[in-house]
Structure 1
Amino acid sequence: MTISKIAVAMFSVADQDAAVAYYTGTLGWEVRSDVSFGEGDQAGRWVEVAPPGSDARLALNPPMNGEPGGGAIGVETPDVDATRAVLEAAGATLGEPMGGDGTVPRMFSVTDPDGNWIWVVQER
């Protein structure tokens, strides 16, 4: 089997509407998909968000078994410090910058309201 790229990462969230509001309002991402599927007890909603201009997509799904949160993804940026400043001004919950010592790229984390982590990593 050959896999050419990751199609979409998935986070479990307690409330899809609240998660969409956070990712679009606080982080400045855009909605790429928001569709209903299935019927009756099996009805669901598929929601994807993404950083503008990115091929990466993040599906925001209700928890399947248990509590939301606990997921992690990484996204790259050409300027970690500028991105951090924008997210800090928007009120995002940020971890301290780390790395950048030549062995590990400079990065920091963003924690969403459901406890999922986005690692913002300096492009190499």
Structure 2
Amino acid sequence: MSGMDLIISSTFLPADDPETSLAFYRDVLGFEVRLDVGYGDMRWITVGAPEQPQTSVVLHPPGADPGLTDDERRTIAELMAKGSYASIVLGTSDVDATFARVEAAGGEVVQEPTDQPYGLRDCAFRDPAGNMIRINQLT
């Protein structure tokens, strides 16, 4: 489709402990904080890679949508606890060095750097909220 000028602007990941998630994304992954907005007892924190200012990750309160039922909020909490609610895939020029840094910082390792049969080298962690973070080797 010509004439389209679309980029990925932001994606959302639930964060049930904003301070712990902020420390992980800022101090461990090296993302910069772009916005930190509170509303009542809830908080939305926007972070992103300094080299990619047009793309952000918004760490948001899970279940903040007023249209959710209590059952839906419980389901979200259960899925987060299992680490199967949300995920993101990041890329790096050195997956082994990135893995070592995140592991040394106490990141919850899901998969050590592995050469996948489909031609990709990657690793995986869970963030403090249980979200799956896969990190791909960029070629």
Whole-angstrom CA distance in 1 between matches of 2:108 and 2:52: 22
Task: Return the alpha-carbon distance in structure 2 between the equivalents of residues 52 and 87 of structure 1.
Answer: 18
- Give the alignment's Cα RMSD to 1 decimal: 2.5
Deviation at 1:3?
6.5
Specify the alignment match of 1:45 in structure 2: 43
Identity, % of aligned positions: 34
Is the CA contact (8 Å cut-off) linking 1:78 and 1:123 kept in structure 2?
A: yes
Within 5 Å, give how 1:18-29 maps onto structure 2: 18-29=20-31
Aligned length, in residue pairs: 119
Paired with 1:110 and 1:16, the residues of 2 have a C-alpha distance of 18
Instruction: List alignment gaps of at least 5 residues for structure 1.
Output: none
Give me the whole-angstrom Cα distance separating, in 1, the residues matched to 2:133 and 2:50: 15
Segments of 5+ residues of structure 2 without an aligned counterpart are: 64-72
Residues 42-101 of structure 1 deviation map (CA, whole Å, 9 limit, x = unaligned): x85331112332343111111113317321111111111111111122221122222355
Greater Cα offset, 49-58 or 112-121:
49-58
Given that residues 27 and 90 in structure 1 are in contact (C-alpha distance below 8 angstroms), is that contact kept between their aligned partners in structure 2?
no
1:87 to 102, 113, 125: 102
Q: Which amino acid aligns with 2:91?
A: E
* TM-score between both structures, scaled by the size of structure 2: 0.72
Larger deviation: 59-68 or 8-17? 59-68
Give the distance between the partners of 2:28 and 2:92, measured in 1 at CA.
17
Letter in 2 for 1:98: T
Q: TM-score, normalised by structure 1?
A: 0.79
Taking the aligned partners of 1:91 and 1:18, their CA distance within structure 2 comes to 12
User: 1:62 is matched with which residue?
Assistant: 61
Q: In the alignment, residue 26 of structure 2 is paired with which amino acid?
A: T
Higher helix share: 2
